[in-house]
Amino acid sequence: MSAATVGGVNSERAATPIDTLADSFVTGMAALDPIGATSLGLPGHDHELPDFSPAGAEARATSQRELLAALADLEPADDVDAVTKAAIAERHGLALELHDAGEHLRDLNVIASPPQEMRDVFDLMAHETTADWETIAARLSALPAAMDGYMASLAEGRRRGTVPALRQVEAVLKQADDLADADSSFFTAFVAGARPDGHAPDDALAAALERGARDARQAYADLAEFLGRELAPDAPEEDGVGRERYQRFSRLFLGATIDLDETYEWGREELARIVAEQEAVAAELYGPGTTPEEAMARLDADPARQLHGTEALREWMQETADHAVATLKDVHFDIPGPVQRIECMIAPTQTGGIYYTGPTADFSRPGRMWWSVPAGVTEFGTWREKTTVYHEGVPGHHLQIAQTVYRSGLLNMWRRLYSWVSGHGEGWALYAERLMDELGYLSDPADRMGMLDGQRLRAARVVLDLGVHLGKPAPEELGGGTWDAEKAWTFLSANANMAEGFLRFELDRYLGWPGQAPSYKVGQRLWEQIRDEARAAAGEEFSLKDFHRRALDVGSVGLDTLRDALRG
């Protein structure tokens, strides 16, 4: 893709047949995937849930096959079209590979599978008016049918001998039990907090919401019973998915084909390099001989680096994010007006995660950075989290996602809203963290220690994830033999400065979502390689600001597609 096509300010272009096809696919998929529609801000389906049955999965696969068949008959009208065609072919071709391999029949893990999607979508729904809460009530009461369809897919997978690992089954069973409990369920508290138009709901709406919460709790109770009675007895104890499945998942999350064995060795080298950086920063902070662990313990105990309470945390996040926008715009990045607004929020959940949700197409719902604070946690260390604000906000996810949404004059809906590649997105966010260090925003060695702590975890995940899922030989410091969950826990504990409960969840996540966790660090590596290639090609004419604009204007495509686009 040419610099003129990608980099022109407020680029406008007439819609092409490929754009029309891509937009039509997104509109059609919204009806087949109402959760995705809500996430993208596409109206009309917020009262519905997807059909998670085998028939529903086949309907989504059919839509993708038809898209690819129609696309094959169209010639690109310009460079933007050429990238769209390549990106759609790569993304949906791989999605069909996964479908044909039956992955939808064992789609169950602790963080990103239908049981979590059906719960988490309620965080994104409007809840200001009576009409909003009527829509919520309808979606709550749609949960039993959606859950029945999902259980039908898992049952078909069991019939075919395609069953998720026991560790994931047991963990999701616990999640389902928690959501089914009438006293502590999210759904109970959610509807109890309904205040449409600032008032208590009327009798009819209150009854609908209570009925919806009851339906939702029952759906999760049915799931818990099914997992324990039907699925667990046939679930394999082995966590690793093997090389063939892992290669497909790696391509899914990166949009690139990598040498898995070379990447494993690179991950080990990168981890050692980061540890050496940490040791140097620890010595800078507290003197020679101070270990990174000792330095981080002292930073945690430093009152000057602590925030007290979630409101203080939210305010600090907002101030830090706003400062980054104000000082980076027009210097290192082009940041359009609507993109300059980001909202920092305390999430209604208590999982410990920090995440970003993009704006709607019209920016009526802005991009938001969410912090899901665990119950009982009231103290927060700014030294740990400044880099997180840059990761989730600007120049990280918010700039990347919201700027792409803003480019309605350049990119079709599929490019702006629908396409999301983890290695592109999370790789960019880690790239952004390192860049902020290079630009001097982490000049305080404490803040730099926080960035290195996160980078160390991400590098360790590359080694752990590939090690377990490929069944590679374990390092001598882990006792040799073959990587397994026990060795992975020892390794993770040694390389992550986090509470045990959080790390236990993280390990379950890696074991149940192969290829996703490494996509952060491997994605960062590929982003840095692409930037360095662009710098070498441009020589003295290279502009980092122009590179960022050109790259972000491509949208979230596979990293091989991005590399090809920026070389063109």
pLDDT, tens only, 409-458: 899 999 998 999 999 999 999 999 999 999 999 999 999 999 999 999 99
The gap from C-alpha 443 to its chain's centroid, in whole angstroms, comes to 28
Q: Residue 367, SS3? A: strand
pTM: 0.92
Length of the chain: 568
Question: H or E stretch including 369?
Answer: strand 367-371
Can you list the pairs that 208-212 forms with residues at least 24 positions away whose Cβ atoms lie under 8 Å? Answer: 208/134, 208/137, 208/138, 208/141, 209/133, 209/136, 209/137, 209/140, 211/137, 211/141, 212/136, 212/137, 212/138, 212/139, 212/140, 212/141, 212/187
Is 349's pLDDT higher than 90?
Answer: no
pLDDT tier at 11 (50, 70, 90 boundaries)? Answer: low
Q: Beta strand 367-371 with 354-357: parallel, antiparallel or unpaired?
A: antiparallel
The pLDDT value given to residue 348:
83
The pLDDT value given to residue 530:
97
The pLDDT value given to residue 3:
32
For residues 155 and 148, give the distance between their C-alpha atoms in angstroms, rounded to a whole number: 10
Q: Hey, CA dihedral for 115, 116, 121, 127, is it positive or negative?
A: positive
For residues 251 and 243, give the distance between their C-alpha atoms in angstroms, rounded to a whole number: 12
Q: What is the mean pLDDT of residues 1-11?
A: 36
Other CB atoms within a 10 A radius of the CB of residue 556 amount to: 25
Other CB atoms within a 10 A radius of the CB of residue 75 amount to: 10
pLDDT in tens, 228-257: 999 999 999 999 999 999 999 999 999 999
Q: Residue 344, SS3? A: strand
Nearest-CA neighbor of 325 among 432, 428, 431, 416? 432
Q: What is the mean pLDDT of residues 107-113?
A: 97
Q: What is the mean pLDDT of residues 266-277?
A: 98
**Any idea which residue has 């993009």 for tokens?**
358
Is 41's pLDDT higher than 80?
Answer: yes
| Contact yes or no for 550/407 (Cβ under 8 A) | no
Is 568's pLDDT higher than 90?
Answer: no
Find all residues with CB under 8 Å of 204, minimum gap 6, and list them: none
pLDDT tier at 352 (50, 70, 90 boundaries)? Answer: confident
Percent of the chain with pLDDT over 90: 90
pLDDT tier at 374 (50, 70, 90 boundaries)? Answer: confident
Is 6's pLDDT higher than 90?
Answer: no
Q: What is the mean pLDDT of residues 385-391?
A: 97
pLDDT in tens, 470-479: 999 999 999 9
Q: What is the mean pLDDT of residues 121-133?
A: 95
Nearest-CA neighbor of 1 among 473, 568, 435, 547? 568
Is 202's pLDDT higher than 70?
Answer: yes
| Contact yes or no for 10/553 (Cβ under 8 A) | no
Alpha helices in 539-558 (DSSP H): 544-553
SS3 string, 122-148, reads: HHHCCCCCHHHHHHHHHHHHCHHHHHH
Is 1's pLDDT higher than 80?
Answer: no
Find all residues with CB under 8 Å of 4, minimum gap 6, and list them: none
Mean pLDDT of the chain: 95
pLDDT in tens, 281-303: 999 999 999 999 999 999 999 99
Is 8's pLDDT higher than 80?
Answer: no
pLDDT in tens, 487-524: 999 999 999 988 888 899 999 999 999 999 999 999 99
For residues 480 and 474, give the distance between their C-alpha atoms in angstroms, rounded to a whole number: 5
For residues 248 and 255, give the distance between their C-alpha atoms in angstroms, rounded to a whole number: 10
Q: Would you call the peptide bond into 17 cis, given omega within 30 degrees of 0 as the criterion?
A: no
Find all residues with CB under 8 Å of 24, minimum gap 6, and list them: none
User: What letter does residue 473 receive in the DSSP assignment?
Assistant: B
| Contact yes or no for 218/145 (Cβ under 8 A) | no
For residues 413 and 327, give the distance between their C-alpha atoms in angstroms, rounded to a whole number: 30
For residues 270 and 323, give the distance between their C-alpha atoms in angstroms, rounded to a whole number: 31
The pLDDT value given to residue 4:
31
Q: CA 374 → CA 13, 179, 486, 499, 507, distances in Å?
A: 47, 16, 26, 11, 18
pLDDT in tens, 545-560: 999 999 999 999 999 9
For residues 487 and 398, give the distance between their C-alpha atoms in angstroms, rounded to a whole number: 36
